[in-house]
Structure 1
C-alpha cells in the first residue's frame, strides 16, 4: 500500500522553511516537495556575489543541498530526518542577477543512506550548476515534536494521511 502525503504537512513545511532566517537571508524559497522531486527558487542578486562579481558557490550549494534533501523527504517515515554527509557541486556556467530554479531528484533511498541530485537553471533554462548529496537517515531527528517545540506549540500536521 502506498502512503499518501498529507497536503497540510507539506504546506506547513513550505511555510516554515520559507520563513526561516537562512532562507530569507538568501532570498530562497522552497516551492515544491513531492515524491522524489522538489523545487527551490532564489532571487540572485548582488548579495550572492563573490568579490569577482560572480555568484558565490555557497549560494549554489545551499540551493542544491535544500533541493536534494527535499527530493528524498517524502520517502522517509514520520519523525525521520536527514543530515548531509557529502555535497558535491559542479559550477557549469555564468549567470546574471535574476531568478534561479533548482530541481531536486531522488536517486536512491536506503535504510541509512540516501542519494539525491539537483540542477540549477536560470530563467531562460540555461544549466548553471549540478550537484549530488549523500544524506544520512537519522531516526528521531527533525521530528514533529521538535518542530512543534521550535514553533512555540504550533502543531505540525502528520506527514501521511490515514490509510483508507
Structure 2
C-alpha cells in the first residue's frame, strides 16, 4: 500500500498582487495573521511562517517521511527551501512599500541529518547587511534543542515593484 498526503492552497496571485502595496514587514504580518494567503510551497512542504520582525523571520516544520530522499532522510531541497525562505523573508521585512526582492544565490551547508524522529525544526533568518540594491542574509536551521542542523547565506537583489494596473 502506498502512502498519500492531501493538501490545498489558496490563489498565489492574491499575495503576489499585494507585494509592494505595503511594507515587507506588514505583508509578512498579514500572512501570519491569515489575512493574506501563504505561498503554495508552504502547503506543499507543510511549513509555516511563525515570527517576523524588522530584519528577521522564523519558519518551522515537522519533518515527515514525505520529505525523504532515497537514503531515508530529509532531502536537501527541503533544508534549502526553509533556509531560503527564512533568509529571503528577513530581507523582505526591511523593505518599504513599493519595493520587492529576489534571491540571487543561496549557499547551504548541511551539518546534521534530519529524519521524522528529529522533531520540529526552525529556520531563523537574519539580515547581515542591506544596501539600496542588494542585501546579504543568513539563516540557521535548528532542532528543538537548538542544535545547528544547517546554515545558509543568501544574496538578494532589491528592486522597485511596478504599481498594479487598474
Same fold (TM over 0.5): yes
Q: Deviations over 1:94-124 (max 9, x none)?
A: 1231211010011011111110000001122
Change (3 A) 1:66 1:8: closer
Q: C-alpha displacement at 1:21, in angstroms?
A: 2.0
2:77 match: secondary structure: helix
Asked if structure 2 preserves the Cα contact closer than 8 Å seen for 1:17 and 1:30, the reply is: no
Matched, 1:123 2:141: no
Where relative contact order (Cα < 8 A, 6+ residues apart) is larger, the structure is 1
2:157 aligned to which of 128, 136, 143:
136
TM-score by length of 1: 0.77
Moved over 2 A (4+): 5-11, 13-18
Offset of 1:9 from its aligned partner?
Answer: 4.3
Alignment partner, residue 84 of structure 2: 65
Is the 1:17–1:23 Cα contact (8 Å) retained in structure 2? no
Does the 8 Å contact 1:120/1:129 carry over to 2? Answer: yes
SS in 2 for 1:13: helix
- TM-score of the aligned structures, taking structure 2 as reference length: 0.76
Q: Give unmatched runs, 5+ long, in structure 1.
A: 150-164
Q: Report how many residues are paired.
A: 140
Unmatched segments (≥5 aa) in structure 2: 1-22
Asked whether the equivalents of residues 89 and 131 of structure 1 are also in contact (C-alpha less than 8 Å), the reply is yes
**Which of 13, 17, 28 is equivalent to 2:47?**
28
Larger CA deviation: 113-122 vs 88-97:
88-97
